[in-house]
Amino acid sequence: MKLFLSLLALGALVGLGAWFGLAPQRAAAEAAQTKVAVYVSIPRPAGVTDETLNAEFTRAIHLYAKVRGLERKYFTYSQTGFGGLYLFENEAAAKAHFNAAWLERIQKTYGVKADPVYFSVPAVTAGAAQVAPSATNVATIIEIKTPWYATDGLVKKGLRDAIPTYAATPHLIYKYFTQGPDRSFGGIYLWEDQASAEAFLGPAWHARVTKRYGQAGKVTFLKAPVIMIQPVKSEKP
């Protein structure tokens, strides 16, 4: 039964790929001054397997494709929680989705209070891995405390100046450059697989961040086997 659900999830994801724009990512960067990312994690109920989550995620793709202002959703889970990483076209769209009714529904369904975490997204870029998202994908959230002397403008400039570096990063599918409400900065990354993410975020990366900013960066790893991407909007006048 578990094998059947896993194959069902993967088959449905492949079948829906063309419909929801799960095509190889292009390397062009995009300014994203008004975009907002949201991370939601809900405690994982006992006994719920990865295969069950994969199947449920796949069945929900069409529902999230209808959410106004939602450009992308990475359906994610870890050993202890499940939820998603969302990219909205603006803050108003994000807050309209995560409204009081949504919070109440989560509380009623899972018996816990959800606490969506918001990030502003001044820029996004595709990485060098021009491949379609797949069941092996891993997402990472990186948060680094902003030095006291760095202004908001300086941070935003630094993030945008880094676009060419991440556009050329091997095995990186996509990155949102982020700023958190606690004066942190960093990014939300989508990698080809766990090994790629761990290779990039290894001891050398941690040492470099600590040396440059005087403190360690926080890294969260999440499985991201199912993804919804809205087709790119037409630029016709």
**Mean pLDDT for each consecutive 10-residue tract of the chain (237 residues)?**
36 36 43 80 93 96 96 96 97 96 95 94 94 93 94 93 96 97 95 97 96 94 96 56
Cα 59 from Cα 17, distance rounded (Å): 13
Is there a contact between 187 and 176 (Cβ–Cβ < 8 Å)? Answer: yes
Query: Residue 48 has what pLDDT?
Result: 93
pLDDT given for residue 190 in this prediction: 98
Q: CA 6 to CA 140: how far, in whole Å?
A: 23
Tokens 């090994």 correspond to 195
DSSP assignment of 41-74 equals EEEPPTT--HHHHHHHHHHHHHHHTTSTTEEEEE
Q: Which residues contact 129 (CB under 8 A, 6 or more apart)?
A: 25, 170, 171, 172, 173, 191, 192
pLDDT computed for residue 233 by the predictor:
63
pTM score: 0.85
